[in-house]
Chain A
Amino acid sequence: MKFTASREALLKPLQAVIGVVERRQTMPILANVLLVAKDDRVSVTATDLEVELVASMEAEIGGAGEITVSGRKLLDICRALPEQAELAVQLSGEKLSIKSGRSKFTLATLPAADFPTVEDINARQTLALPQATLATLLDKTHFSMAQQDVRYYLNGLLVETDGKYLRAVATDGHRLALCQVQLDGKKMPQQQVIVPRKGVLELQRLMSGEGDVELQLGSNHIRIELDGIRFTSKLIDGRFPEYERVIPQDTSNHLTADRQLLRGALQRTAILSNEKYRGIRLIIRDGGVILQAHNPEQEEAEEELEVSYKGEHIEIGFNVNYLLDALGAIDSDEVILAVVDGNSSCLLQMPGNEDCKYVVMPMRL
């Protein structure tokens, strides 16, 4: 294998994939990246056995071939070389040599055949959509995913196709975020996959918001092609809870508030809430809501906010972080809080928009 490329050309794919190169090396080869030189292109692959990233670049190929070398060291070398440096990369025997100007590096390798890659994912469906749309789905839901919950199927994001809709749902058992978009054109089959948390966060990092993406859903993998990068993640093998059943339907008590004002009031009141439980009490009555918090040091915060509300007098407690997360994901000027009573879940929505829903369970106060 032999190719030449500029420092900048090689840096870009290396930086794109380095996030999944294992730091804790369970298998030594996972600290490596796979370099494949073929047909005027060099591709760089990294994997942690859960998420695989492949990025490629144009290069002048002197000889096709493939090999693996330490991803971290290769990136450090490229970074340390001067700008616009030309690199000549060549495999000789079991060593990979990199020459640039008067610098020469010789790296240890492991055989490409030992590098675990995912080839065909046997996609059940392939969707094309704007990258910005996919980014929105993830941004508006990812924060509700569980972290290291023993209910392993919650440690990820549900991606679902259902007729016209592509939907993302995340829940940690205390709150739930749902966002859906309609894709033009064909009707999609019903399909549910759970993308692990790590894959979701890695994917968000890769997206620039420009152009289109191609999304493939298989039964064991999800694959997304964007900006010359191919993202593949294993799926969580489990059944996601039936989320529709926890979205409140009876929402007769509607509170409409200015989103920024409510957010500000919650943030101020939260300063004196219990640091562990983050409990905050909302006293909701005609025309106004009172926010109260106190902590074990007996300090108290209270704020009154004018809102539009006609309904029963309701006192309800929440983990304020859950409300703030939802209000951060909503981007309308006003927000609707639908409450049933002090023991039931509350629904946050944008006025006139059924596509994003945030459900928060109350706390006992």
Chain B
Amino acid sequence: MTRTDLRNILHIDMDAFYASVEQRDNPSLRGKPLVVGGGSNRGVVAAASYEAREYGIHSAMPMRDALRRCPDLLRVPPRIGHYKSVSEEIFAIFREFTPLVEGLSLDEAFLDVTDSLALFGSDIEIAKEIKKRVVDTTALTASVGVAPNKLVAKIASDLDKPDGLVVVSAEEIRSTLDPLPVRVIPGIGRKTLARLKEKDIVTVADLRLASDRVLEPIFGRFAQKTRDQASGVDSRPVVSSRPEKSISAEETFDADLTETNAMDRQLMRLAERTANRLRSKDLVAGTVQVKIRQADFTTFTRQRALRPPGNSTDQIFEIVRILLRQWLSEHPGARIRLLGVGGSDLSAAEQRDLFAGDAMPAGSHLDETADKIRDRFGESSVNRARTLDSGQIR
């Protein structure tokens, strides 16, 4: 089995998160049926406390229905900003155990702790420790599923709510999933559920053992994937969702640079790499910096704002070139060992550019084309002429 097939994954789900935060902050709400949701009767339930759930109230239920089930229901308007800050405290705890934290929402995350075992002990110990830290810090409880992949971890965290800890080892996957109702498999909604029931497919085991003839009319080309899921197979990696603070590229040179032409060539290459990475993540930089290390290892950084924030190679190169020129005028005769180019103050490239197409005399269209070529043929498949030295030009 490859590495992605057997990992130590935690799925952590805060119990009735919004409602629990409200009950924690306001003792008069504790022990009572409570929902968080929009003010009017036309709104929907955003979160329900466990007391409210006993009335069959669940999130996304229309507020009118919830009130019919429980006329004494307490309603609290949501305070998303507040939940966000509580969520940040919780996620900070997760990140103490692994950098691989993939947030699904404010109250739910996957953690890959495979590489953390040597430091913190087994995955079960890590899960227990995280639960304890979360309670100690926020007075809130979480349910945790521990499994060799994301699919099973997520199913497991839901098996013993609230305040649960369910561990499913690779050997136990089949015996754990088989008796569960098919709706635990992601993507199986009410309609599919009804169609499966017609074919007497009720449990995950039924689904796992069903023939193609039965599954294909229902799932089409996803039939095989669905069967894999019913067998607890999932190779999706945990992708860290933490926003990046900066993107940069740097290089130490074999021989120290003393000529500005050679420096410009390297700057252009580094600007290209930085800009390319910004574009691939759909980010723009509001600040551009250059890092300069001299032969004696003294290191400088110089930065300048980029307004409006941008990600084109030319924009970034132009700024770092000016910054390096200014630095050189203060340090004549410098021998440069390392150069770095970076972008920070990152934001999503929300405003589209008029000239990202083909109207700019030299600019974005070139970037777009070069990015495509590199994606296909590799990093060094296309270079700007000014990154080449004269020996490379024939």
> Can you name the residue of chain B whose Cβ is closest to the Cβ of A147?
B307
CB of A157 to closest CB in B, whole Å: 16
> Can you name the residue of chain B whose Cβ is closest to the Cβ of A278?
B351
Q: Say yes or no: A246-B355 contact (C-beta < 8 A), given A149-B308, A241-B360.
A: yes
**Interface residue SS majority, chain B:** mixed
Q: In the complex, which residues of chain A have a beta carbon less than 8 angstroms from the beta carbon of B351?
A: 174, 277, 319, 361, 363
Q: In the complex, which residues of chain A have a beta carbon less than 8 angstroms from the beta carbon of B350?
A: 277, 279, 317, 363-365
**In the complex, what distance in Å separates the CA atom of A239 from the CA atom of B13?**
56
CB distance A245 to B359 under 8 Å? yes
CB distance A173 to B354 under 8 Å? yes
Q: In the complex, which residues of chain B have a beta carbon less than 8 angstroms from the beta carbon of A317?
A: 350
CB distance B355 to A241 under 8 Å? yes
Q: Does A105 contact B (CB under 8 A)?
A: no
Q: In the complex, which residues of chain A have a beta carbon less than 8 angstroms from the beta carbon of B306?
A: 150
Q: Does B98 contact A (CB under 8 A)?
A: no
> Can you name the residue of chain B whose Cβ is closest to the Cβ of A297?
B81
Q: In the complex, which residues of chain B have a beta carbon less than 8 angstroms from the beta carbon of A343?
A: 352
CB of A315 to closest CB in B, whole Å: 15
CB distance A361 to B354 under 8 Å? yes
CB of A344 to closest CB in B, whole Å: 9
Q: In the complex, which residues of chain B have a beta carbon less than 8 angstroms from the beta carbon of A151?
A: 314-315, 363
> Can you name the residue of chain A whose Cβ is closest to the Cβ of B304?
A150
Q: Does A54 contact B (CB under 8 A)?
A: no
* Contact count band on B: 20 to 34
> Can you name the residue of chain A whose Cβ is closest to the Cβ of B363?
A151
**In the complex, what distance in Å separates the CA atom of A130 from the CA atom of B350?**
42
> Can you name the residue of chain A whose Cβ is closest to the Cβ of B358?
A245
CB distance A171 to B354 under 8 Å? yes
Q: Say yes or no: A173-B81 contact (C-beta < 8 A), given A151-B315, A151-B363, A246-B355.
A: no
Q: Does A119 contact B (CB under 8 A)?
A: no
Give A334-365 interface residues, CB cut-off 8 Å to B: 343, 345, 359, 361-365
CB distance B352 to A150 under 8 Å? no
Q: Say yes or no: A174-B308 contact (C-beta < 8 A), given A150-B319, A361-B353, A364-B348.
A: yes
26 inter-chain pairs at a CB distance below 8 angstroms, sorted by A residue, are A148-B307, A150-B310, A150-B315, A150-B318, A151-B314, A151-B315, A173-B308, A173-B354, A174-B352, A175-B354, A241-B359, A241-B360, A245-B358, A246-B354, A246-B355, A277-B351, A297-B81, A298-B78, A298-B80, A345-B354, A359-B354, A361-B351, A361-B354, A362-B352, A364-B349, A364-B352
The 6 closest A-B pairs by CB, nearest first: A245-B359, A361-B352, A242-B359, A150-B318, A363-B350, A246-B354
